[in-house]
Amino acid sequence: MTKDLSIVIPVYNEEESIPELLEWIFRVIDENNIDTEVVLVDDGSTDNSWSAIKEKAKTDQRIVGIKFNRNYGKSAALQMGFDQSIGEVIITMDADMQDSPDEVPELIRMVREEKFDVVSGWKKKRHDPISKTLPSRFFNLVTRKVSGIPLHDFNCGLKAYRKEVVKNIHVYGEMHRYIPLIAKWSGYRSIGEKVVEHRARKYGTTKYGMKRYLTGFLDLLSVTFVTRFKKNPMHFFGSVGLLSFVGGFVITVWVIAEKLYRQFNNLPRRDVVDQPLFFLALVALIIGVQLFLAGFLAEMMIQSRSKKDEYLISERTKED
């Protein structure tokens, strides 16, 4: 059984927003006659969010509620929603009503008619203080440069996906900001962007502080490394290890050769072990060898754990 659309909504302490948000969503999808399910994942809320979800689910069978026993984070909530969704198009949005459900029909059209794998919202005009908008712009600039994906707002919660995308990627940790990058490295390169309305928060307070920008950059480094070198870690460890080893070897030979030259020509000289450069060279040699070993071990782990179903198949001429 499938539906035209699944809307996945992570929820954390948004009891006031849920009834109004669901009414808005169903008004839009009813007006556009879209066969829809709404998957709300309660990420360990400490207020009455789960009660609000259950109350609405009693009167509308299109609502699917899932509750975590504790707070696991937005990425875990999204991944659970992706696993449970049955729509041909999956749209994610936040539960705080800052994302507008009125954007849903156009997002669906872009996925279906313009054949985008991912469509990311762009909150071009934001109703946030400058203390949030300036760091966000810098964060998005760095992410654009590193990822090569020309999106203006990686952190926008309003995104649309083809079903195949969310079923073939895995979101963990705090990687929800980088789903477009994860999708790109999984072979889904048709990534579009749509300017969306950003509304002022009506209820409650934001759940994210400045800490997310620090962790965001660390996550960017992590996801970039994993997606690029997951299948061939020796390309990274071996390259860096070779550079370190060769550098250390050249310096060592030069230090020893210089001493021998001075010794044979009766020039003033120091013992090799009296030169700090020699010890730096030894450190570089040791690090180079260790990086090689790390690369070999990583390759062995991949070989022992590799499975043919890790490779994504987009089409086949004959079904099994």
For 136-159, the pLDDT digits (tens) are 788 888 888 888 899 999 889 999
Asked if residue 24 has pLDDT above 80, the reply is yes
% of residues, the chain, pLDDT over 70: 86
| pLDDT at residue 133 is higher than 80 | no
Superfamily for domain range 3-229: Spore Coat Polysaccharide Biosynthesis Protein SpsA; Chain A (3.90.550.10)
**pLDDT of 299 over the 80 cut:** no
State both tokens at 155.
Answer: 């952190």
319 has pLDDT over 60: no
- Sorting pLDDT into bands at 50, 70 and 90, what band is 63? very high
Mean pLDDT of 181-195: 91
Q: pLDDT band at residue 311, thresholds of 50, 70 and 90? A: low
210 has a pLDDT exceeding 60: no
Segment 252-281 mean pLDDT? 84
Position 314 pLDDT exceeds 70 = no
Note whether 6 and 87 are within 8 A (CB): yes
Task: Tell whether the model's pLDDT for residue 236 goes beyond 80.
Answer: yes
Query: Whole-prediction pTM value?
Result: 0.75
Residue extents of the structural domains in the chain: 3-229, 233-310
